Chains A and B, each alone.
Chain A
Amino acid sequence: MTDQPTTHIQLSSSVVAEAKRLRNTRYALLAPGILTIFCIGIMPLSIVLVYSFLEPGDFGGISWVLSFDAYVQLLFEEDIFDETLSFTTDYIQIFLRSVSLALFTTIACLLVGFPTAYFIATQPPARRNAWLFLITIPFWTNLLIRTYAMLLILRDQGVINLSLIEIGLIDSPIPMLYTDFAVCLGLVYAYLPFMVLPIFASLEKLDFRLVEASYDLYATRFKVLKRIIVPLAKPGIAAGCILVMIPSLGAFITPALLGGGKSLMLGNLIELQFGQARNWPFGSAIALVLMVLVMLSLISYLRFGAKKGTPAHG
């Protein structure tokens, strides 16, 4: 090697060749997976964006005419006779329902899910695995089937109503289905495991010597929970919340089965546009609104969940 008083490093050619080979192998192995997801998952989203600015076609689909109708339709209704626009809250209601149901669901899941996750994390290993197993099964059971099971329970001839009539508490069935309540219940039921498992993952790594130290320093159980355990479990809590929030915002099956036509969420509205209503641009516009909501949630997750300082893990 020649004497090189350079500050920049120059490697021998064989070393460079080896590095290049490694890089090529790397990209070759990544390509199929990345391309598949990109072509089927990511790129079509931009087509949705484009479609939202077009007009609906005569027989479904779209026609290539630029138009903002789809977005206008979100807030305004056009009178078919005199073509005047009047403000309508129809879609705003659905929008608000989606957001509030998603929020309620997330909070409810958190209130039930956190104690559950904590309890499981503090069990001895054998019991802990049994509990995990039990929580994991609904997690991987078909959502449609679980919602159907909930349907069986909530409907007028369902288990709850008929049992209450049997006991004599009520005379005729309480209509529980096709209400916001039923949808919320269904969502909580559907996504509860999504909250429990990430929080459990966080709590499992918790160093309980920290808890010991705080008891030593005169903290009460509640204070320890509030000041030590919950903050340290923040990553898991944030992850659980986002894993419940996103599917809840875009829920389709649960409101379809449990909400009927009366408790529509954004997901149902979108499906309608691609089905009966044959208004693809409008459906695309709604899908984009949904994506914006999801983005906002993700951003607040990254801000809130990632803002953690250095966690004191054992």
Chain B
Amino acid sequence: MASTATTTTRKLGKAIDLKYQPGFSQIAWFCIAVLYAPIAVLVFFSFNENRSVTVWTQFSLDWYVKAWNNEGIQHAALISLEVALVAMIASTIMATMAALVTTRTASYRGLNSAIAVINQPLMVPEIVTAVATLIFFAIIKQVTGVSGIGYLIAAHTAFCIPFAYMPIRARLEDMNLSLEQAAADLYAPPFKVFRRVTLPLMMPGILAGAMLAFIVSLDDVIITLFVAGPGETTLPLYILGQIRRGVTPEINAVSTVFVGISVILVTFIFLFGKNKK
């Protein structure tokens, strides 16, 4: 990795560098390699002309075109987007409201319980939540006779809330209360303080929270598997079904797109997160 010149200096430097621990950098590089190797293979071969995942013939976007034109994929993509967008908006709004009253405040009765409830979806394995939600919705469907994609959206909203909550809360904690006090001191009633001072300054956190909620909803498999009704197949469910039947190259293409979306969103989150520093 390094030229011989820098290696010697590095060896000397290592003797003095108090942060150095032997072998750790190798493990770190190994870790990254392990994490990216499978993804790299997937992405690489999604551009492969033939169906094989091991023999490269030539570069081709065929599979992407095929995937784009596949009706099953189109429908699944639309469903995924619909659910993710609604869940993102609903959960972000609720998370923002909750963050406003659970951060930068003296302790009050119910505060710790409220925070525990908000974080609850993170503490329970998805399969258990999936089962519980399935049972619960089954009862409601029986009692009211109402069905539809609303159930799926509601389930997604619930588990997206803690993900939206985290960055919003982090951003709020960084904001000094004296700014809002100054606004109140200058004759702004509480709602105007929120609209003119708190909200604009919170925006980076809210946007990061929204994006997190969006990704989490888009990626979800287990809960969706249990709760989705007929015709509500999301993209991950479609992919799962295809995988169970056998590997197809269109799936590689769709998967690569997913990876691309994650990269874009993580980039945004990093940019917004850095802003506050």
Contact = CB atoms under 8 A, between A and B. Distances in A.
Contacts of A280: 135
Interface stretch (A76-84, A88-96, A130-138): A130-138
A120 B32 CA distance: 11
A159 B133 CA distance: 39
A211 B21 CA distance: 12
A119 interface: yes
B186 interface: no
* B contact patch SS: helix
Contact of A145 (B95, B136, B215, B258): B258
A148 B252 CA distance: 9
Interface in A231-263: 246-247, 249-250, 252-253, 257
B187 interface: no
Interface stretch (A7-15, A41-49, A66-74): A41-49
B106 to A, nearest CB: 11
Interface in A186-220: 189, 192-193, 196, 208, 211-212, 215
Nearest to A293: B125
B266 A136 contact: yes
A25 B21 CA distance: 52
Contacts of A34: 98, 114, 117-118
A208 B127 contact: no
A4 B145 CA distance: 63
A192 B126 contact: no
A146 B18 contact: no
Contacts of B45: 152
B262 A140 contact: yes
A306 interface: no
B193 interface: no
B131 A283 contact: yes
A151 B243 contact: yes
Interface in B150-176: 154-155, 157-159, 161-162, 165
Contacts of A253: 221-222, 240
B198 interface: no
B39 interface: yes
B117 A42 contact: yes
Contacts of A151: 243, 247
A132 B93 CA distance: 28
Interface string A279-292: 01001100100110
Interface string A159-201: 1001100000000000000000000000001001100100000
Interface residues of B, number: 86
B42 A36 contact: no
Nearest to B164: A33
Given A30-B114, A40-B136, A274-B131, A135 B32 contact: yes
Contact of B125 (A158, A193, A290): A290
B79 interface: no
Contact of A146 (B20, B25, B39, B158): B39
Contacts of A113: 31
Contacts of B269: 136
A112 B262 CA distance: 24
Contact of B53 (A41, A115, A157, A247): A157
A246 B18 contact: no
Given A42-B117, A48-B135, A274-B226, A148 B251 contact: yes
Interface in B36-58: 36-39, 41-42, 45, 52-54
B101 A137 contact: no
Given A152-B42, A208-B18, A294-B125, A137 B266 contact: yes
Contacts of B158: 36-37, 39-41
A135 B24 contact: no
A313 interface: no
User: Which 3 A-B pairs rank lowest in CB-CB distance, beginning with the nearest?
Assistant: A250-B125, A149-B38, A44-B132
17 contacts: A33-B118, A37-B121, A40-B155, A40-B157, A41-B159, A48-B131, A129-B274, A141-B219, A144-B239, A145-B258, A148-B239, A151-B243, A152-B38, A153-B41, A249-B125, A266-B127, A290-B127
Interface of B: 18-25, 27-28, 30-32, 34-39, 41-42, 45, 52-54, 93-95, 97-98, 100-102, 108, 114, 117-118, 120-121, 123-129, 131-136, 138-139, 154-155, 157-159, 161-162, 165, 215, 218-219, 221-222, 225-226, 236, 239-240, 243, 247, 251, 255, 258-259, 262-263, 265-267, 269-270, 274
Given A48-B135, A145-B258, 7 more contacts: A39-B158, A51-B135, A142-B255, A142-B262, A153-B38, A189-B34, A270-B131
